[in-house]
Structure 1
Amino acid sequence: MYKKFISGIMLASFIAGSTFTSCSKKSEPLPKKTYSDSISMNNWKYNEKDDVYYQTGIIYVSKPEDLTYHTLGIFIPGKYVEGTKNSDGTYAIKAIQKDAPYVMPIETPGYAALPAPEDYVDAVKDYTDAGLIFLYSGARGKTHGAPLGVTDFKAAIRYIRHNSEILPGNTDLVFTFGMSGGGAQSAILGASGDSELYEPYLQEIGAVMTESDAVTGSMDWCPITNLNVANEAYEWEMGRTRTDLSEFEQYLSEELALAFGSYIDSLNLKDENGNKLTLVNYTDYLTKTIEDSLNTFLSTTAFPYNPQKTQNNMHLKMLTAGMGQMGQGMNNMQPPSDKPDENKDNNRMPPPPDNKDGKKPENRPEPPEGQPNGHQPSFEEMDGIQRNKNNSTGLNLNRTFNSPEEYIAALNEKTTWVIYDKSTNTAKITSIKDFYKYMKPATKNIGAFDDLNAAQGENLLFGYGDGKGAHFDKYMTALLKDTIYYASFAEDLNKKDSAGNTVDYRMNAYNPMYYLSSYYDGYKSSTPAKFWRIRSGICQGDTAISTELMLKLALQNYGNEITDVDFATVWGLPHVEAETTGSPTQNFIAWVKECVEQL
């Protein structure tokens, strides 16, 4: 019954790093408007060239904080309505199609705020040509504090559903999509449908409280999620690529990794064959995931191959990050390695006392706001997340490779860790340690998400709207008890926001795993999306592979409420809208159509 919307051929791709806002044609400032619980059907504009009816400046909450964010735009294929031109040049429209799905961009890299559109947005044409209705909502960002960004998107979804009788298409069918912090918030929307945790925040802004905010599908590129253990996962996977650490830094990295090992054992996740994953076999599962990514790359890549010319000219930056010796002193809850070290020292160094070696990391430069000469900024340049850029493995992967053998030889330039079988065009990874050393090193300081100085983007996300970052990692707080950092960590964990909630409450609201895993109290307390598509660049230094891998596993383990989980981590790609083949936009549109056909 939902197949009527499928028409046309999907066209150009959405280039990574370019926002929908940048495509928006500037107009005069919006006139002062008042909230109405009903969308006017007599005040639409029409883009004749693209055959799209649209309306912007629609206030979607009765107590808006800022109309920059608390308005939305709707862009409708012309064939879905009957339009009558008014004397002032606007149009009155009447819906004649009630099946088409809505797609909603969560264009918030680094959890940034998303200004609402003020006029027509050229980029919507790819979606409306494919028969999709484009719902473009503004939303507050990290400077306002979590969970306000996702709260706003939920409020917008509730508002259009409140107007379902007059709008074309099927407002029950909403698919979100986003990259990085936007991928994270798309995943949160997918996992937290109708969660009670959001009710006080929705009430604060006067959202419609009688409608559902659950979405049908969630498309997530490089989602930075599971922030309650993100520091720990980062050190478990990439911490042992760090060099020149002080005793304090070494201790902190190792202890964070150990905490993640305990977390793995507690999740009760199962693989595709129903086997329970524990620390004993999870490293093997992770290794196979990495190996599968490489073999997919080999089977889908045409040689000669040049990393810089892949993915439709997206601004790919192959990692050439450098590492040295691995961290020492892990016990049997160790980060991934090829074999347990039976001779390692299990006596770990205690944290330093105040004012000794608990030194603060060096200040790191802010990412550039823009580049000259028409440079298209990458997500890494736009998202306000701090990264170290001075590492180099010495591998020369930024060149053209004429054959798979030549590419594998480049991977093995320093040491052999990949074995290639030409007869089957497949590879086997013999050292997961070397994979991290050469392909996925740490690019963030210890406390990758909860920075010791509260200077990371996620610190701002869990701040309190005053422009200052706040700490949120309770595991890290415990480790810092006898250091100069402890007081600020402990203070932040006890603060309350405007709704009277501590960071634990807010973290749960912003953690997809809270709703999807039986480890958490919020398990099955929401209405999750039926369809999921998750893609990441396997070489990104922004987060651990386990971040998206555990999200995938939790979704697969959840039950019949979730229809399909389409997951891939793409070999050779960093923090981008990673796709094995094709463009992100085309692949997303095709996926939405496939999902709707299954309903």
Structure 2
Amino acid sequence: MSFTELLTLFSRPNYVRKHKIRGRDLRGRGSGRGRDIVKHRAVKRRSVVLGIGATAGVAAAGGFALSAQASGESGKSGKSGAKASGASGALAFDKDAYTELTTTITDAAGDEHEVKYHFYKAITYVTKPVDEKYQSLNVSVPVEIDGKAVDATGAPILLANSVGGYMPSSVAEATGVGGGGMTGAPGGGATGGASTGAIAAPSASASASASSGTGSGGVQSGGNAMVNAQGEMVNLGKLALVTGYVVVEPGARGRTLVDSDGTYYGTAPAAIVDLKAAVRYVRANKGRIPGNTDRIVSSGTSAGGALSALLGASGDSPLYDKYLEELGAADASDAIFASGDWCPITDLEHADMAYEWNWGANKLSSGSLVDRTVSKGLSTAFADYQASLKLKAKGFGTVTARNLDEYLVKTYLEPSATKYLAALSDSARATYLAANTFITWSGGRATFSWADFLTHVGARKKDTPAFDAFDLSSGENNLFGTGTTKARHFTLYSLRHEGSASARLPGDLPGKIDLMNPMHFIAKRNPARSKHWWIRVGTKDSDTSLTVVGNLALSLENLGDDVDAFMYWDGAHGSNEDPADFMAWIAKVTGYKKRSAK
């Protein structure tokens, strides 16, 4: 069938498609009982999604736009945050352009639920996209859970990004909620949209295996997957949907994108600009798009966790305006209500220093130590950075490089070990303690030293410098590339190590570095930042320094924000061991109470 014939068919006013697809939406186990029922609602001309495209614009990098959401309605002008709100024309959300899907989702407690929802696919969220494959989003709205109608009109909106390694993220080919795919899963490879939720409570087998102190298998560096204590994939989009929340899954450009002329068009600050544009699209469509657009909660892991934190910290900052205007983003607020951040790879210009302060004494997996001169130099420089933050903690006073280790042990590490050990059976706890004699277990509480903890973690994951590699080989070097230059140094230490002692960073870099760091906006006390924060990392995650989470959380606490920060004992990169608690936290901070449809 030709494209013209296909377009004509889809334009018929009463055209309805119905399909039945067998298969379970459970942990990617393949076909079995259960079903996915797909119903396509009859829609008006210019309201059907074919591939990518939801605006009248055409991607500069090629492709076409079929104007999936380009209705001619005009939005009412209003106020949202510090900016005007209201979408019109190409950026007006078409509430009728959905596909009705029914699927089975396992919640965080391990219970199965049949969920019927409306799925809005591949909506381009700017009028002048560079690449629609990445600058589009999907929306999933629950309408029925276990046969009971759900009214999601006032539900919180989970903005779940799937960025990993600051690489491109696309949801354009997803066939349902959570379909952006997960990369870097333990054991290698990637998983598609079939991977789902998690079981929150430790199982007997998990407790037994944990006695070795290895924790759950870690996500590979650069991956975007989340893993629970049993090593199963966690998909927050699906868990949010089965909880009754609206789910928005945005794509974003990433550092590896290069056009036919050799120009890199997804380097900094492209990813955060795209996510802000997605937020603006949602907020501009208040009253059209289901859910409470004033209660957007972001989530992400690894680089995605960093971007989620950056969304939370930089709301409505005018520093991004020129980039957003170039894309034709909606004239609305890009502030979000709350931020959920797992193992964020952030504060990049200080990350090499922090890494050596934290993991400098740990050997590589090969058994060798990193260059001691480089490690010591970076660690020494970290002390000055830590002092500059002027962070204060109850019982510690000003937190400096001298007492930061004790602060981390008492605030995060010992409470984490205590919670983990208390949840084990008596026999499993005894086995674990026998294998990890550095822990003193007394009165239901675990205690140990920082030095012994580092020994327990074992091999560090990265060489030195961990982020601004001398040979420009790291993903972060690529992140700060520009034009046809694939990678650049972004710290003076690495730049001068490889060149002149008086070398200076290119003029555009300091500003771009600020645009990628939530700490910059927290230090400026950005008034439009999120005031509610959920921050998590595994204690064995050496993809970055544990100080990154420690300083992020403490800096927000010093501003008076509501911060729920925790470290998963023996958890590796990508750990998410309490997704049910996160769903409950969303309801708590947003004040949401689920309503049944009348």
Instruction: Compute the TM-score of the two structures, normalised by the length of structure 2.
Output: 0.67
Tell me which residue corresponds to 1:358: none
* Residue 136 (structure 1) aligned with residue 136 (structure 2): no
* Residue 418 (structure 1) aligned with residue 431 (structure 2): no
The code of the aligned residue for 2:287 comes to E
Tell me which residue corresponds to 1:204: 326
* Residue 60 (structure 1) aligned with residue 125 (structure 2): yes
- Map residues 462-477 of structure 1 onto 2, 5 A cutoff: 462-464=480-482, 466=484, 468-477=486-495
Tell me which residue corresponds to 1:39: 93
Secondary structure at 2:440's aligned position in 1? strand
- Map residues 347-426 of structure 1 onto 2, 5 A cutoff: 402-412=427-437, 417-421=438-442, 424-426=443-445
The 1:596/1:223 distance shift into structure 2, 3 A limit, reads same
- What is the aligned residue count? 437
Structure 1 position 126, deviation (Å)? 3.3
Determine the C-alpha separation between the residues in 2 that align with 1:191 and 1:227. Answer: 15
The 1:598/1:538 distance shift into structure 2, 3 A limit, reads same
Tell me which residue corresponds to 1:486: 499
- Map residues 171-570 of structure 1 onto 2, 5 A cutoff: 171-208=293-330, 210-242=331-363, 249-273=371-395, 275-288=397-410, 289-302=412-425, 402-412=427-437, 417-421=438-442, 424-429=443-448, 431-464=449-482, 466=484, 468-478=486-496, 480=497, 485-486=498-499, 490=503, 493-494=505-506, 502-517=508-523, 523-525=524-526, 527-559=528-560, 562=561, 564-570=562-568
Secondary structure at 2:397's aligned position in 1? coil
Q: 1:148 aligns with which of 261, 264, 270?
A: 270
The 1:245/1:462 distance shift into structure 2, 3 A limit, reads farther
Contact 1:116–1:137, Cα closer than 8 Å, also in 2: yes
Secondary structure at 1:75's aligned position in 2? strand
Contact 1:477–1:489, Cα closer than 8 Å, also in 2: no
The code of the aligned residue for 1:419 comes to T
Structure 1 position 121, deviation (Å)? 1.2
The 1:486/1:409 distance shift into structure 2, 3 A limit, reads farther
The 1:119/1:280 distance shift into structure 2, 3 A limit, reads closer
The code of the aligned residue for 1:99 comes to G
Deviation per CA, 1:175-216: give whole Å up to 9, x if none. 1111111111111111111112211211221112x3111111
Deviation per CA, 1:349-373: give whole Å up to 9, x if none. xxxxxxxxxxxxxxxxxxxxxxxxx
Tell me which residue corresponds to 2:51: 29
Structure 1 position 489, deviation (Å)? 11
Moved over 6 A (4+): 11-15, 243-248
Determine the C-alpha separation between the residues in 2 that align with 1:459 and 1:488. Answer: 20
Structure 1 position 525, deviation (Å)? 3.3
The 1:418/1:113 distance shift into structure 2, 3 A limit, reads same
The code of the aligned residue for 1:150 comes to I
Determine the C-alpha separation between the residues in 2 that align with 1:487 and 1:40. Answer: 56
The 1:441/1:156 distance shift into structure 2, 3 A limit, reads same
Deviation per CA, 1:392-414: give whole Å up to 9, x if none. xxxxxxxxxx43233223223xx
Structure 1 position 248, deviation (Å)? 9.9
Structure 1 position 122, deviation (Å)? 4.5
Structure 1 position 268, deviation (Å)? 0.7
The code of the aligned residue for 2:509 comes to V
The 1:227/1:192 distance shift into structure 2, 3 A limit, reads same
Determine the C-alpha separation between the residues in 1 that align with 2:174 and 2:375. Answer: 49
Return 5+ residue gaps in structure 1 as ranges: 1-10, 16-22, 81-94, 304-401, 496-501, 518-522
The code of the aligned residue for 1:297 comes to Y
* Residue 104 (structure 1) aligned with residue 159 (structure 2): yes
Secondary structure at 2:402's aligned position in 1? helix
Secondary structure at 2:398's aligned position in 1? coil
Contact 2:363–2:369, Cα closer than 8 Å, also in 1: no
Determine the C-alpha separation between the residues in 1 that align with 2:298 and 2:153. Answer: 19
Question: Cα RMSD (Å) of the superposition?
Answer: 3.1
Secondary structure at 1:494's aligned position in 2? coil
* Residue 592 (structure 1) aligned with residue 586 (structure 2): yes
Secondary structure at 2:165's aligned position in 1? helix
Determine the C-alpha separation between the residues in 2 that align with 1:459 and 1:473. Answer: 10
Secondary structure at 1:46's aligned position in 2? strand
Tell me which residue corresponds to 2:239: 126
Determine the C-alpha separation between the residues in 2 that align with 1:69 and 1:240. Answer: 41
* Residue 158 (structure 1) aligned with residue 156 (structure 2): no
Structure 1 position 285, deviation (Å)? 1.0
Determine the C-alpha separation between the residues in 2 that align with 1:230 and 1:403. Answer: 37
Instruction: Compute the TM-score of the two structures, normalised by the length of structure 1.
Output: 0.67
The code of the aligned residue for 1:403 comes to A
Structure 1 position 38, deviation (Å)? 1.2
Deviation per CA, 1:387-432: give whole Å up to 9, x if none. xxxxxxxxxxxxxxx43233223223xxxx33232xx132221x32
Contact 1:440–1:540, Cα closer than 8 Å, also in 2: no
Q: 1:75 aligns with which of 128, 140, 148?
A: 140
